[in-house]
Amino acid sequence: MPAPATSPRRLTLATSAIFLALVVLGLTFVIPFLWQILISLSSLTDVDLLSQTGFPPVLKPGNYPLVFEKVDFAKYFFNSFFVAGWVTLLQVLTSSMAAYAFSRIAWPGRDKVFLLYLGTLMIPGVVLMVPNFAVVLALGMFNSYWGLIIPGAFTAYGTFLLRQFMLTIPPSLDEAASIDGAGHWRIFTQVILPLARPGLIVLAIFSFLGNYNSFFWPLILTKDDNLRTLPIGLLAFDSTYGRETPLIMAGSLMAMIPPILVFLFLQKYLVRGIQLGAVKG
């Protein structure tokens, strides 16, 4: 048997020091969340004691169901998933089709139109908020799911990201498929989309997380409680029940779970996507 290749595993002083520093730093990331958990399990009267005792005298898991009783937290959850889910689906669909047109078909004026797309990426979102509000108002989408979903469904960013991704697929594949007898729609669905899957997943993650956390737009667009997404619901919860810190912490903790799950399962795509997004066009 050949000896296994030995990787350098000498625990030098420097690496040990770095490891130790990372553990300490890591604790500063863990402890706030532990603190949040502890508060969410405290009774209201014990919250102030926590800074002295470090642990609640009485554990109250009942805070969690209580959140759902105080406000329509389930509805907020549903709204967040519903809106973020639809935006993600539509965005991936429209962006991937547009990216196909920008990356796989040579048509007159393509680069100019793409430059226009790229140019709007530089425009701050805040500049768009005000006119978009007016547009949505004019379209009668104010205070509705439509208004929350439709404006987010078409992004220049998604198109840009997927175009970058599709450019890495060799053009000879389209040509081979074309000689094999495939038309554009078939090349798109059977060759490009399967190969761009990591890019689609990246966009889907970004889009879902972005819309799940989205604040400004739902804030100005929703009036009714039953349209509120989690961030807006939490904010309203905080301004109504702000003194009830355990409930606020329980609510925000629950709101944090979906992004963490997304991250745990899809982290390799996410890391790649962030790095891809930095590639110059």
Q: Near another protein by CB under 8 A, which window of 61-69, 81-89, 252-260?
A: 252-260
Least distance between another protein and beta carbon 69 (Å): 19
**Binder among 64, 133, 145, 241 for another protein (CB under 8 A):** 133
Closer of 65 and 134 to another protein (Cβ): 134
Considering the complex, state which of residue 1 and residue 126 has its C-beta at the smaller distance from another protein: 126
Cβ proximity of 196 and 170 under 8 Å: no
Identify residues 9-68 at the interface with another protein (CB under 8 A).
9, 14-15, 18-19, 21-23, 25-36, 39, 45-57
| Cβ-based nearer residue to another protein, 65 or 242 | 242
In the complex, minimum distance from the CB of residue 250 to another protein, in angstroms, rounded to a whole number: 11
CB under 8 Å, gap of 24 or more: what pairs does 54-63 form?
Answer: 60/246, 63/246, 63/247, 63/250
Identified binder of another protein from the candidate list 67, 151, 160, 222, rule CB under 8 A: 151
Q: Does 275 bind another protein (CB under 8 A)?
A: yes
CB of 107 to another protein, least distance (A): 4
Give the residue, chosen from 60, 118, 238, 241, that forms a contact with another protein under the rule CB under 8 A: 238
Instruction: Candidates 62-70, 81-89, 90-98: pick the segment binding another protein (CB under 8 A).
Output: 90-98
Return the HEC string of the chain: CCCCCCCCCCCCHHHHHHHHHHHHHHHHHHHHHHHHHHHHCCCHHHHHHHHHHCCCCCCCCCHHHHHHHHCCHHHHHHHHHHHHHHHHHHHHHHHHHHHHHHHHCCCCCHHHHHHHHHHHHCCCHHHHHHHHHHHHHHCCCCCCHHHHHHHHHCCHHHHHHHHHHHHCCCHHHHHHHHHHCCCHHHHHHHHHHHHCHHHHHHHHHHHHHHHHHCCHHHHHHCCCHHHCCHHHHHHHHHHHHCCCHHHHHHHHHHHHHHHHHHHHHHHHHHHHHHHHHCCCC
CA 192 to chain centre: 24
> Between residues 101 and 167, which has the closer beta carbon with respect to another protein?
101
CA distances from 143 to 67, 158, 211, 214 (A): 24, 25, 17, 16
Tell me the site size for another protein, rule CB under 8 A: 125
Q: How far is the CB of 226 from another protein (least distance, A)?
A: 18
Q: Closer CB to another protein, residue 34 or residue 226?
A: 34
In the region spanning residues 201 to 230, those forming contacts with another protein, defined by CB under 8 A, are 209, 212-213, 215-216, 219-220, 230
Q: Does 154 sit near another protein (CB under 8 A)?
A: yes
Query: Applying CB under 8 A, does 108 fall inside the site for another protein?
Result: yes
Residue 189 or 226 having the CB closest to another protein? 189
Query: Does 106 help bind another protein (rule: CB under 8 A)?
Result: yes
By CB under 8 A, the residues from 156 to 195 that bind another protein are 156, 159, 170, 172-173, 175-182, 184, 186, 188, 191, 194-195
Q: Which two tokens stand for residue 48?
A: 């102030």
